[in-house]
Amino acid sequence: MTDLSLAPRRTRDSSTLERHAPRRKFWFDDVPPRESIADERRYRQERLAVAFRLFARHGFDQGLAGHITARDPEWPDHFWVNPFGKHFSRIRVSDLLLVNAQGDIVVGEGPVNQAAFAIHAAIHEARPDVIAAAHTHSLYGKAWSTLGRTLDPLTQDSCAFYQDHALFDDFRGVVLDTDEGARIAAALGQRRAVILKNHGILTAGPSVEAAAWWYIALDNACHAQLLAEAAGTPQPIAHDVATLTHEQVGRAGGALFAFQSLLEGLVEAEPDVLT
């Protein structure tokens, strides 16, 4: 959802953007919390299971690769994750595993993807503000990662990541140890996304909805820039405009709202996801 009608107004003769105008709030900037820890846990689990189904619909699944995690609201050093070997399109709430900081399964049955633990444990430890993180081997993110550079602000949508994503250029094969996970977390820093050179993309956010939607949007932005560069010489958006647009379209609340619209359709078509 793009709410340009609520952006700071400018006249045609204005030579500068009103960069210092008060930031306008949207209704989705303030999402009320759930009433109990149990309610919050169930909320995150349901959206995590839905995110896997949505990723399958978008073709983000490739064999056994890929994982999304959600921090547990009661034990913040534990996170929920998909069981290794379960196809995204078949994941239900009851399939999710709760894993602790040592990689032990606390709730659920099934193996844990070692790469998922190595990467996500480091991110959740380094970023207490991150509730969820997503990584798969999606086609366009993977293709873009081979170029070894970050995205340019070519479109309104891609501005959601303007100066808010990084490049990790130290690929050493499948991530199986927490040391490499820590390096990925360091590259991510305080940003919402990181391009893993020769590997793919990863997003992190303050909600499952934000991390999942930003992943969808980032893969789409990779696709758009690949097409644009194949067609000619893209003309990037100016820095000031890209910065303003990032504030407008890059809000976590907006990502949550966008994800919710997808969630409603998926749950209606595949109600078993919540079982």
Residue 18 has pLDDT above 60, yes or no: no
Residues with Cβ within 8 Å of residue 227, at least 6 apart in sequence: none
Pairing of strands 97-99, 193-196: unpaired
Query: Nearest to residue 134, comparing CAs of 218, 54, 56, 67?
Result: 67
The one-letter code for the residue type at 169 is D
Q: What is the pLDDT of residues 241-267, one digit of tens each?
A: 999 999 999 999 999 999 999 999 999
Residue 123 has pLDDT above 50, yes or no: yes
- Written as six digits, the tokens of 109 are 């049955």
Query: Domain limits of the chain?
Result: 37-274
Query: Nearest to residue 107, comparing CAs of 72, 131, 141, 137?
Result: 72
Name the 3-class secondary structure at 90: helix
Percent of the chain with pLDDT over 70: 88
Q: Determine the Cα–Cα distance for residues 148 and 199; give it in Å rounded to an integer.
A: 10
| Separation of first and last alpha carbons in the chain | 29
Read off φ and ψ for residue 167, nearest 5 degrees.
Answer: -120, 130
Q: CA dist 46 to 73, 208, 262, Å? A: 14, 10, 13
Residue 12 has pLDDT above 60, yes or no: no
Q: CA dist 149 to 99, 136, 194, 227, Å? A: 33, 18, 10, 16
**How far from the centroid of its chain's Cα atoms is residue 6's Cα?**
25
Asked if CATH classification 3.30.465.10 holds for the domain at 37-274, the reply, yes or no, is no
Rg over CA atoms, the chain: 19
Q: What is the pLDDT of residues 70-104, one digit of tens each?
A: 999 999 999 999 999 999 999 999 999 999 999 99
pLDDT average, residue stretch 111-136: 95
Q: What is the pLDDT of residues 22-77, one digit of tens each?
A: 455 554 566 677 889 999 999 999 999 999 999 999 999 988 889 999 999 999 99
Q: What is the pLDDT of residues 130-156, one digit of tens each?
A: 999 999 999 999 999 999 999 999 999
pLDDT at 3: 36
Alpha helices in 69-207 (DSSP H): 114-126, 139-145, 178-188
- Written as six digits, the tokens of 186 are 């360091």
pLDDT at 2: 36
